[in-house]
Chains A and B, each alone.
Chain A
């Protein structure tokens, strides 16, 4: 992107942000609810005695802004099970996502190599992959809880199972579509199987494998929120649900934004690694 294009699109982005904040602000202005036509008793029951208490609506941008500032200025406090800083909650979530994700990579990439290199294995494993792939990862949760008997590890398992398929399928595809020419070169040079796998097939398939990893990471970050809402205790998903139970919409909105920003950061990281292994033919 050239400089002037970047400048113009940034200006439009900024403008859109201002408009969105303004609309948000305008629609969440505290209105004074009218008590006209109510009996005093009913007004009191509704919490509006005295005619004109603010109605509890959605928080405006200023309120949320204050909450963000407050939460971010002290991200690592720990006041017991239901009151931890956002940094700690994110830490729990990221630890679960990363451990589930890398365990899945450990299984999916070697297995993808086997599937990609052997037509027999591809045929043999295909029905299993086709059946297991469309299962919502959360559907595994009860089984995982029953077998593993640990809610946190069960969440890791759910991340594992949802990260597995895109990595497996992309690795197999990448390995299977390595150019015949490069394999012929390796063959005529009498390159051993292991050296061929690491020096020819792996770099040739790396961009496709990384694409699979990037998709997996995106899915894992989507799933962790739902998984933590179910298992509870810690993590950003649990934080959202807990703040909903506290009816603290400020915190819920703050958490939603945080999830978005962290997801974007994870994706950018993989985009960066992807550029490292990309090659131009």
Chain B
């Protein structure tokens, strides 16, 4: 743990009190780490401060206390070492696909020749399968294609770490699946270290090596870190056939539905925010349910399933 690539220590975010009110602590005592080449997803309900944590990692926001250390250096502002994929893709609408990526590449390597920049951009456009759309403006692209450009832009600067804030939240299920596959392939090829926010349990299981579970805010904490025990060469087509899949999925859904909100009143014995427990639900045998029952049916029987907002 001490030689982790990215270390988050005692991170907290407190908003100053509104007139006459109490200061609002969104989250506190956040400790976790990410190893090099690891894909980490964070799951939690809206308002638990996931986006704030990501923005602190990106250097776009500041925590009230605590530190973030990446590659043995403290994170104190935005840096080209950390690429960001924004939820709203954040492409410049007056620039073509190529120019949008060029803008990033030229920022990273200002001394590169025009041809070298072009070739580099083209490589990443091809990587996200946008060959042929180089000279289109973002307005001429579909939502999925726009997000692909956002991903290509983030990868093109070859950051040490990639931060993704619900990158597929606004996409339809089919497009999302295709881009998830692409992302999985690119990450496998480049051994990219990724930190990603998602609301989609299936997406987390497909993509992540570790899934960080956050309790509801205010005073949100990391309840536990789920280790994904599925084989790393999984794909969208067969991942759900693996015996571990529904155990992990049920565990995550259970957490989101019930444990995330009563964690504060029902904290497990021995819980230490400094070392949030690692769990491996994929390896645990099912207690209340035979493994062949479709978990989709099972969790429908549970009362009050809130929509993952």
Are A and B subunits of one complex?
yes
Q: Which residues of A contact B (CB under 8 A)?
A: 179, 181-182, 184-185, 187-191, 195, 199-200, 203-204, 206, 277, 279-281
Residues of B within 8 A of A191 (CB): 107
B122 within 8 A of A: no
B104 within 8 A of A: yes
Residues of A within 8 A of B90 (CB): 179, 181-182, 184-185
Residues of B within 8 A of A281 (CB): 93, 138-139
Closest to B87 in A: A181
Residues of A within 8 A of B88 (CB): 181
Which of B82, B86, B137 meets A185, CB within 8 Å? B86
Given A188-B58, A189-B104, also A279-B82 (CB < 8 A): no
| Distance between Cα atoms of A279 and B58 in the complex (Å) | 28
Residues of B within 8 A of A184 (CB): 58, 60, 84, 86, 90
Among B82, B92, B95, the most chain A Cβ lie within 10 Å of the Cβ of B92
| Distance between Cα atoms of A191 and B59 in the complex (Å) | 14
Closest to B138 in A: A281
**B137, A188: Cβ atoms closer than 8 Å:** no
Could you pull out 28 A-B pairs where Cβ atoms are within 8 angstroms? A179-B90, A181-B86, A181-B90, A182-B92, A184-B60, A184-B90, A185-B84, A185-B86, A185-B90, A187-B59, A187-B78, A188-B79, A188-B80, A188-B83, A189-B157, A190-B79, A190-B107, A191-B107, A199-B103, A200-B92, A204-B94, A277-B94, A279-B94, A279-B137, A279-B139, A280-B137, A280-B139, A281-B139
**B137, A189: Cβ atoms closer than 8 Å:** no
**A203, B104: Cβ atoms closer than 8 Å:** no
**A189, B92: Cβ atoms closer than 8 Å:** no
Q: Mark B65-99, 1 if CB is under 8 A from A, else 0.
A: 00000000000001110111010101011110000
Residues of A within 8 A of B79 (CB): 188, 190
Residues of B within 8 A of A277 (CB): 94
| Distance between Cα atoms of A187 and B88 in the complex (Å) | 16
| Distance between Cα atoms of A181 and B138 in the complex (Å) | 15
B236 within 8 A of A: no
| Distance between Cα atoms of A277 and B93 in the complex (Å) | 11
Interface of A is mostly: helix
| Distance between Cα atoms of A187 and B78 in the complex (Å) | 6
Apart from A184-B60, A185-B86, A281-B139: 4 A-B pairs, beta carbons within 8 A: A188-B58, A188-B59, A189-B104, A277-B94
| Distance between Cα atoms of A119 and B59 in the complex (Å) | 22
| Distance between Cα atoms of A206 and B92 in the complex (Å) | 13
B129 within 8 A of A: no
Residues of A within 8 A of B95 (CB): 203
**A203, B94: Cβ atoms closer than 8 Å:** yes
**A203, B92: Cβ atoms closer than 8 Å:** yes
7 interchain residue pairs of minimum CB distance: A181-B90, A280-B139, A189-B107, A279-B94, A279-B93, A187-B78, A188-B78
**B108, A189: Cβ atoms closer than 8 Å:** yes
Residues of A within 8 A of B58 (CB): 184, 188
Q: How far is the CB of B196 from chain A (nearest CB, A)?
A: 16
Residues of B within 8 A of A190 (CB): 78-80, 107
Closest to B107 in A: A189
| Distance between Cα atoms of A238 and B108 in the complex (Å) | 59
Closest to B95 in A: A203
Q: How far is the CB of B32 from chain A (nearest CB, A)?
A: 22
Q: How far is the CB of B22 from chain A (nearest CB, A)?
A: 28
Q: How far is the CB of A202 from chain B (nearest CB, A)?
A: 10
**B139, A189: Cβ atoms closer than 8 Å:** no
**B80, A189: Cβ atoms closer than 8 Å:** yes
Closest to A199 in B: B103
Residues of B within 8 A of A182 (CB): 90, 92
Closest to B153 in A: A185
Q: How far is the CB of B147 from chain A (nearest CB, A)?
A: 13
Closest to A280 in B: B139
Residues of B within 8 A of A181 (CB): 86, 88, 90
| Distance between Cα atoms of A188 and B81 in the complex (Å) | 9
Q: How far is the CB of A2 from chain B (nearest CB, A)?
A: 22
**B60, A188: Cβ atoms closer than 8 Å:** yes
Q: How far is the CB of B229 from chain A (nearest CB, A)?
A: 33
Residues of B within 8 A of A200 (CB): 92
Q: Mark B174-197, 1 if CB is under 8 A from A, else 0.
A: 000000000000000000000000
| Distance between Cα atoms of A281 and B93 in the complex (Å) | 6
Residues of A within 8 A of B78 (CB): 187-190
